[in-house]
């Protein structure tokens, strides 16, 4: 007797639903998912392109399995309680998935419930009284359930059959991801058993690493399903934009700043005119890396529409806009009767269903290759349609005062490197080295609130020994408890139970407690006692670092973490600070590919004429500097080092050199050392001779280490440990120093 097909294994009601949809059959990944999920004896990780059928691949077998557990009265799940817990990173995505799943759940006699900040309280109360069906929720709202309804969680999740995690890649390696790991572990503790997890993702570089993230303890095996990419044609172009160099002779500082702004605005206007002519009349998404760029380009496109006296089709979309504005833009994209283009940040990256769009536009380098792949998945979703990607990269016109980075055309070449890796189907693996101690503070307080008190040993066992914070030693955990006790965040009852302290109670009762992440704190920049501006600090800033701010170059004199003030003086060199929305971490593989791009025999075919011109300029500078055979360039002002390493190793090497007394400026893929060549080589040789460097000691010299929400409560010792895990890569940096110390470039000096 032959085995039933995947379709035949589904609940008969779902089979009939599939027939009514007119599907010719299940997609291959959906057939594989049926066999993988139905036994409920393993976790399942499904990676497929946007519109690749992931949602149905997960929920058809999940609902079939849950319906098969029904009691004698035919109630799915065999009793009261949530049967499927689904987690999503975005409220808008929950709303979208709710629309898609509501009908599917009803087919098998279940209901799909939403739970987030915009859902009326009456609906939430009704679900708490009669829990059942599918609960689609954000991690923050699930956290609130643990804190506010701790005693009722067993009733909520006692019948839980599956956990589904949507957009898994959005969580991996992040603060929210660590919170998610802890919450899933705590849900299983409440249920009293291991519950199969089904994860959906459109962007994964290393499936096995992602499986480890999904269940760190490996209590269940994980079945990996990856949909074939299909035969979609990719139409790709990278347009170079040369920003005019303004004449700055005999101008005041204010006039120079105005001249530079005018040149920048002129470039944005030119880009807007091209996009207006190319995109108008179709549906598209334009991705920029920062909100200010979204606003500038959306406004320029709106002005083009006004000038042409036609209705505006271009709408901004980012997190600082009101919900109504964002939802209006999403609705316009869904409405295929009216053309619309959204100019957005990553708020429209994570799977919100706006239907297929004609094309994707990427402004400047994307945050990562993985993000670019996710964005591109929006285009060409209909049968026979190509995926269209237009990218724009601005570079300043070369003058006698142009910087080395400008002459190397670093931004354009990096964009080419990321496109090359996209074409090779490579994507960044997750960073699983961070300790996430700030999130541990939140989870500790949440667990204490959930249980009404918890012993130190029970908390250690729940969160660390058996939980996701397993990298922490017991001694470090005790140090954390002591630090929290000293700050009245924790208190201890007479029986030894940990309770919230006076300050801890305030933290837990504040509405912001449920989110593990926070926006970067702003620091006031001062020059001669006067405020220059405010800077959200998300990059490493130490005394003697260089910054560019308000169109001027500054040297950091002092960093006062307590007062949140950075004191500056004017300087002749500088690097752009990592403003909110910038400061992306570049992977080692991307930098290695940048180096390969400089050695290409021909510019990539997807470059336009201006892009080819700029690319060849960069290659010529690369050749002139001798970078084909060396990594050290001696210049009149000092030495420029090209370690060809990613952001974390590069900034670690910068800090190590600074601790040798050198002034070092970071230039995205290079280090500019303002010192004589002999001093630089001597410092590198000193580092090369060391087998290791204490990362904690190096971290101790960084005044602004507190980045995450509760970092300030860790105490100095643990904050150093946390910073080292997040920002330092000592072995890699020392290896770079050895290579650079022996480089042939020194001999040419």
What does the DSSP assignment read for 348-373?
A: GTS------BSEEEEESS-S-HHHHH
Q: How far apart are CA 354 and CA 372, in angstroms?
A: 18
Helices (H), 220-341: 253-279, 291-308, 323-334
- What pLDDT shows up at residue 577? 40
- What pLDDT shows up at residue 505? 96
Residue 618 lies in a domain: no
Same domain, 368 and 473: no
pLDDT band, residue 78 (cuts 50/70/90): very low
**Please, which residues have CB within 8 angstroms of residue 458's CB and are 6 or more apart in sequence?**
none
Same domain, 249 and 176: no
Q: How far apart are CA 740 and CA 250, in angstroms?
A: 41
The mean per-residue pLDDT over the stretch 282-294 comes to 88
Cβ burial of 4 (10 Å; 0-12, 13-18, 19+) is exposed
Last residue of a domain, one of 348, 368, 397: 397
- Is residue 408 predicted with pLDDT exceeding 60? yes
Residue 313 has which token pair?
């089709």
Residue 609 lies in a domain: no
How many other C-beta atoms lie within 10 A of the C-beta of residue 493? Answer: 10
pLDDT band, residue 2 (cuts 50/70/90): low
- What pLDDT shows up at residue 578? 38
Q: What are the CA-CA distances from residue 289 to residues 190, 253, 433 (Å)?
A: 40, 28, 25
The mean per-residue pLDDT over the stretch 565-591 comes to 69
- What pLDDT shows up at residue 23? 92
Domain of residue 138: give its range: 6-226
- What pLDDT shows up at residue 101? 93
Residue 311 has which token pair?
């209705």
- What pLDDT shows up at residue 645? 97
Among 134-148, 378-392, 451-465, 487-501, name the one with the lowest average pLDDT: 378-392
- What pLDDT shows up at residue 116? 85
Residue 359 lies in a domain: yes
Q: How far apart are CA 65 and CA 88, in angstroms?
A: 21
Supply the DSSP symbol for 310.
-
Residue 585 lies in a domain: no
Q: Which residue has the higher pLDDT, 654 or 292?
A: 654
The mean per-residue pLDDT over the stretch 516-539 comes to 74
Q: How far apart are CA 186 and CA 188, in angstroms?
A: 5
pLDDT digits (tens, 9 = 90+) for 36-76: 999 999 999 999 876 678 899 999 999 999 998 754 334 44
* Percentage of the residues of the chain whose pLDDT score is greater than 90: 62
Q: What is the CATH number of the domain that holds 242?
A: 3.40.50.300
Place of tokens 């930098």: 591
* Helix, strand and coil percent figures for the chain, each rounded to 5: 45, 15, 40
Same domain, 504 and 526: no
Q: Could you tell me the pTM of the whole model?
A: 0.80
**Please, which residues have CB within 8 angstroms of residue 249's CB and are 6 or more apart in sequence?**
none
Which is nearest to 621 in space by CA: 637, 633, 607, 608? 633
The mean per-residue pLDDT over the stretch 673-690 comes to 96
Domains: count for the chain: 5
Same domain, 141 and 238: no
Q: Which residue has the higher pLDDT, 360 or 522?
A: 360
Q: In whole angstroms, how large is the CA radius of gyration of the chain? A: 27
Same domain, 506 and 527: no
- What pLDDT shows up at residue 446? 98
pLDDT digits (tens, 9 = 90+) for 198-235: 999 876 768 898 999 999 999 999 999 988 755 568 89
**Please, which residues have CB within 8 angstroms of residue 494's CB and are 6 or more apart in sequence?**
none
Looking at every residue in the chain, the average pLDDT score rounds to 88
- Is residue 289 predicted with pLDDT exceeding 70? yes
Residue 421 lies in a domain: no
pLDDT band, residue 324 (cuts 50/70/90): confident
Question: Quick check: 618 and 402 in contact, CB under 8 A?
Answer: no
Residue 333 lies in a domain: yes
The mean per-residue pLDDT over the stretch 8-12 comes to 93
Last residue of a domain, one of 475, 491, 512: 512
Residue 590 lies in a domain: no
Residue 431 lies in a domain: no
The mean per-residue pLDDT over the stretch 617-637 comes to 94
Same domain, 261 and 160: no
Same domain, 22 and 146: yes
The mean per-residue pLDDT over the stretch 557-570 comes to 84
Same domain, 209 and 240: no
Same domain, 572 and 635: no
Question: Quick check: 259 and 247 in contact, CB under 8 A?
Answer: yes
Place of tokens 């709202």: 141
Same domain, 238 and 214: no
Which is nearest to 431 in space by CA: 140, 222, 591, 210? 210
The mean per-residue pLDDT over the stretch 267-272 comes to 94
Same domain, 555 and 506: no
Helix (H, G, I), strand (E, B) or coil at 160: coil
Same domain, 61 and 168: yes
- What pLDDT shows up at residue 48? 83
- Is residue 701 predicted with pLDDT exceeding 50? yes
Supply the DSSP symbol for 385.
P
Last residue of a domain, one of 463, 495, 512: 512
The mean per-residue pLDDT over the stretch 302-324 comes to 87
- What pLDDT shows up at residue 476? 96
- Is residue 396 predicted with pLDDT exceeding 70? yes
The mean per-residue pLDDT over the stretch 298-307 comes to 92
Q: What is the CATH number of the domain that holds 480?
A: 1.10.10.10
Q: How far apart are CA 321 and CA 557, in angstroms?
A: 36
Highest averaged pLDDT of the listed ranges 328-342, 430-444, 468-482: 468-482
Q: Element (H or E) spanning 543, and its range?
A: none
């Amino acid at each position: 007797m032959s085995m039933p097909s995947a379709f035949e294994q589904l609940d008969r009601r779902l089979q009939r639903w599939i027939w009514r949809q007119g599907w010719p059959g299940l997609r291959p990944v959906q057939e594989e998912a049926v066999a993988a999920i139905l036994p409920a004896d393993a976790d399942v990780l499904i990676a497929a392109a946007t519109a690749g059928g992931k949602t149905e691949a997960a929920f058809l077998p999940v609902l079939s399995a849950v319906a098969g557990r029904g009691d004698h009265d035919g109630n799915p799940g065999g009793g009261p309680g949530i049967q499927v817990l689904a987690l999503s990173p975005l409220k808008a995505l929950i709303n979208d998935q709710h629309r898609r799943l509501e009908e599917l759940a009803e087919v098998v006699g279940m209901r799909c419930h939403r739970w987030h900040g915009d859902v009326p309280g009456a609906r939430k109360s009704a679900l708490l009284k009669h829990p059942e069906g599918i609960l689609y929720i954000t991690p923050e709202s699930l956290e609130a359930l643990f804190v506010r309804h701790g005693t009722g969680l067993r009733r909520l999740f006692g019948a839980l059959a599956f956990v589904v995690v949507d957009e898994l890649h959005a969580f991996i390696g992040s603060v929210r991801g660590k919170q998610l790991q802890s919450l899933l572990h705590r849900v299983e503790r409440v249920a009293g058993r291991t519950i199969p997890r089904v994860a959906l993702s459109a962007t994964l570089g290393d499936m096995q690493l992602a499986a480890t993230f999904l269940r760190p303890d490996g209590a269940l095996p994980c079945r990996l399903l990856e949909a074939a990419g299909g035969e979609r044609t990719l139409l790709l172009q990278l347009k170079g934009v040369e920003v005019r160099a303004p004449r700055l002779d005999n101008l005041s500082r204010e006039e120079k700043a105005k001249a530079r702004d005018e040149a920048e605005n002129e470039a944005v206007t030119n880009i807007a005119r091209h996009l207006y002519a190319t995109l108008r009349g179709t549906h598209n998404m334009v991705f920029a890396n920062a909100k200010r760029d979204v606003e500038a380009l959306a406004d320029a496109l709106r002005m083009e529409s006004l000038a042409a006296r036609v209705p505006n089709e271009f709408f901004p979309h980012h997190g600082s806009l009101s919900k109504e504005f964002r939802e209006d833009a999403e609705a316009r994209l869904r409405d295929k009767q009216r053309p619309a283009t959204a100019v957005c940040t990553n708020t429209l990256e994570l799977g919100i269903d706006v239907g297929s769009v004609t094309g994707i536009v990427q402004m400047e380098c994307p945050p990562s290759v993985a993000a670019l792949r996710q964005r591109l998945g929006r285009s060409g979703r209909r049968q026979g349609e190509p995926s269209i990607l237009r990218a724009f990269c601005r570079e300043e016109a070369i003058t006698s005062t142009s910087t080395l980075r400008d002459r190397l055309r670093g931004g354009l070449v990096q964009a080419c490197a990321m496109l090359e890796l996209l074409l090779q189907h490579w994507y960044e693996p997750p960073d699983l080295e961070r300790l996430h101690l700030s999130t541990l503070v939140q989870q500790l307080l949440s667990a204490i609130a959930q249980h009404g008190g918890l012993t130190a040993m029970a908390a250690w066992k729940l969160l660390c020994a058996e939980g996701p914070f397993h990298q922490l030693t017991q001694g470090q955990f005790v140090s954390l408890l002591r630090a929290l006790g000293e700050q009245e965040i924790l208190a201890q009852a007479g029986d030894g139970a940990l309770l919230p302290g006076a300050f801890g109670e305030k933290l837990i009762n504040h509405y912001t407690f449920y989110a593990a992440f926070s926006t970067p704190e702003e620091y006031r920049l001062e020059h001669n006692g006067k405020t220059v501006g405010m800077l959200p600090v998300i990059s490493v800033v130490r005394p003697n670092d260089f910054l560019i701010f308000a169109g001027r170059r500054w040297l950091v004199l002092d960093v006062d973490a307590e007062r949140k003030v950075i004191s500056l003086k004017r300087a002749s060199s500088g690097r752009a600070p990592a403003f909110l929305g910038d400061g992306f971490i570049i992977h080692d593989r991307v930098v290695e590919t940048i180096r390969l791009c400089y050695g290409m025999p021909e510019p990539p075919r997807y470059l336009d004429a201006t892009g080819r011109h700029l690319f060849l300029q960069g290659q010529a500078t690369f050749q002139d500097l001798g970078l084909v055979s060396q990594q050290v360039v001696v210049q009149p002002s000092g030495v420029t080092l090209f370690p060809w390493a990613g952001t974390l190793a590069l900034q670690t090497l910068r800090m190590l050199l600074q601790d040798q007394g050198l002034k070092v400026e970071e230039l995205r893929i290079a280090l500019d050392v303002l010192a004589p060549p002999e001093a630089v080589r001597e410092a590198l040789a000193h580092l090369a001779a060391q087998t290791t460097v204490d990362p904690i000691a190096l971290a101790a010299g960084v005044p602004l280490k507190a980045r995450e929400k509760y970092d300030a409560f860790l105490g100095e010792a643990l904050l150093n440990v946390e910073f080292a895990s997040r920002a330092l890569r000592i072995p890699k940096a020392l290896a770079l120093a050895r290579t650079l110390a022996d480089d042939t470039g020194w001999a040419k000096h």
